[in-house]
Amino acid sequence: MSETGKIFVTGGAGFIGANFVNEWVRNTDGHVVNLDKLTYAGNLENLAEVEGNSRHTFVHGDICDRATVDRLLADHRPCAVVHFAAESHVDRSIHGPDEFIRTNINGTFTLLEAVRAHWVGLDEGARGGFRFLHVSTDEVYGSLHPADAPFTETKAYEPNSPYSASKAASDHLVRAYFHTYGLPVLTTNCSNNYGPYQFPEKLIPLVIRNALAGKPLPIYGDGMNVRDWLYVTDHCAAIRAVLKGGKVGETYNVGGWNEMPNLQIVKEICAILDELHPQSPCIPHASLITFVRDRPGHDRRYAIDARKIEREIGWRPVETFATGIRKTVQWYLEHQDWVANVESGAYREWVSTNYSDR
Ligand code: NAD
Ligand code: TYD
């Protein structure tokens, strides 16, 4: 796929989408049409870098709105769709699954239907080069025991939360549109991302924010749940590589080769903050660690086997956890105004919903 044409991105004002859009505009000559509903997780400040750039068109709208998606596809005739838009937080899916079903399942279905109609109408050359890349998660594979092998692309789906179940459903729809209609789809299933612009409801930015505010650092359960951590710009590079070199109909697991228990992640963040923020009244920041009631159905371990994307496409992550987490903590230290701006009434309400009775 060429990187000079127009691409259509959904959810490009969220954490990963915004990193992807900023990089795409910075590093290619292409144009991005960015459709985002601006839910609590969408933030135009994440796109300040491309504001006013003629190669970025932001559209405030919903992927569930077929007429809007049809109009954008007809007006812009993109050569690829990169689908990030989703409800993405497991704890929110436990408190209120409805939006997850609506956006992740019905929204993906609406988008697929609109894209299929657009794709069928393209001339033969354009149809052959067209790509629909669906951004998904390793959580669809379920939970691993300590001695289990990491997830490969052939692992059976065993989603355990409303979030992962809704993403699994969307993956199945995407797969079906390839097998039934021949739509040239690609799916990526990646591990936990971290880095700049991540909303402070997820573990890493929440811990940095709370530590800076001298608040407790909530660790669910015993803190020994394991995740694989992927620095966001490595993920964006993987998506670009799959768009360019991925085989249609295939799925690619994307991981950072950084499996770690949550407690260790939090301790590393605290140690970096002790060093980079020596004027803090809370040193050592690890003294703020507080064990709280576990998440219901909390998956014990995720681990990604990312050998397929390396073997077939040549992508490997650049960042180790040590380099990525240092950059991330530094970014949050330098962007405390960004964090302050997202701490609206709605954010405070969420903190009270999720943490007050733990
Ligand atoms: P995010 O929650 O930060 O952002 C989601 C974006 O989608 C927001 O800008 C939001 O406004 C937008 N959106 C939500 N509903 C919409 C709708 N109906 N129409 C249009 N826009 C809508 O999410 P993220 O962390 O950037 O994740 C992006 C994608 O990557 C998601 O599909 C997620 O499942 C997947 N993913 C994320 C991670 C991670 O660690 N963050 C890991 C694996 C996979
Ligand atoms: P999270 O960032 O919500 O990502 P996911 O659930 O998609 O993996 O959580 C990462 C891990 O951190 C997960 O095992 C849950 C745990 N966690 C805490 O221990 N405390 C918290 O306050 C949060 C938000 C998460």
| pLDDT tens readout for residues 275-294 | 999 999 999 999 999 999 99
Token digits for 182? 């021949």
Q: Within 6 Å (CB) of ligand 2, which residues are found?
A: 90, 192, 202-203, 206, 218-220, 225, 227, 262, 295
| CA–CA distance, 87 with 275 (Å, rounded to integer) | 35
Helix/strand/coil for 262: helix
Phi, psi (rounded to 5 degrees) for 345: -55, -40
What pLDDT does 9 receive?
98
| CA–CA distance, 283 with 214 (Å, rounded to integer) | 9
Mean pLDDT of the chain: 97
What pLDDT does 248 receive?
98
Token digits for 19? 């990193």
Answer yes or no: is pLDDT of 2 > 80: no
The best mutation among 151, 202, 203 to test binding of ligand 2, ranked by most ligand atoms within 8 Å of the C-beta, falls on 203
Element (H, E) at 275: helix 262-276
| CA–CA distance, 202 with 312 (Å, rounded to integer) | 32
Question: Closest-lying ligand to the alpha carbon of 111?
Answer: 1
Average pLDDT over residues 21-35: 97
Answer yes or no: is pLDDT of 168 > 90: yes
Answer yes or no: is pLDDT of 151 > 80: yes
What pLDDT does 1 receive?
67
Which of the two residues, 348 and 255, has the higher pLDDT score? Answer: 255
Answer yes or no: is pLDDT of 332 > 70: yes
Model pTM greater than 0.95?
yes
Which of the two residues, 198 and 351, has the higher pLDDT score? Answer: 198
Helices (H), 101-202: 108-120, 124-129, 162-181
Average pLDDT over residues 13-35: 97
What pLDDT does 354 receive?
93
Q: How does pLDDT run across 176-197, given as a tens digit for each residue?
A: 999 999 999 999 999 999 999 9
Residues serving a catalytic function are 138-139, 163
Phi, psi (rounded to 5 degrees) for 75: -70, -40
Cβ of 190 less than 6 Å from ligand 1? yes
Q: How confident is the model at residue 316 (pLDDT cuts 50, 70, 90)?
A: very high
What pLDDT does 357 receive?
85
Q: What is the DSSP string of 1-23?
A: --SSSEEEEESTTSHHHHHHHHH
Helix/strand/coil for 266: helix
Q: What is the DSSP string of 315-330?
A: ------HHHHHHHHHH
Answer yes or no: is pLDDT of 263 > 90: yes
Strands 31-36 and 192-194: unpaired
Q: Is the dihedral of CA 42, 153, 140, 199 positive or negative?
A: negative
Q: Is the dihedral of CA 200, 204, 209, 210 positive or negative?
A: positive
What pLDDT does 347 receive?
82
- Work out the number of other CB atoms within 10 angstroms of the CB of residue 26: 11
Question: Closest-lying ligand to the alpha carbon of 90?
Answer: 2
Distance from Cα 279 to the centre of ligand 1, integer Å: 35
In the chain, % of residues over pLDDT 70: 99
Q: How does pLDDT run across 34-91, given as a tens digit for each residue?
A: 999 999 999 999 999 999 999 999 999 999 999 999 999 999 999 999 999 999 999 9
Question: Are 13 and 36 contacting, i.e. CB atoms less than 8 angstroms apart?
Answer: yes
- State how far Cα 293 lies from the chain centre: 26
| CA–CA distance, 10 with 174 (Å, rounded to integer) | 15
In terms of CATH architecture, what is 6-198+228-259+301-318?
A: 3-Layer(aba) Sandwich (3.40)
Question: Are 23 and 236 contacting, i.e. CB atoms less than 8 angstroms apart?
Answer: yes
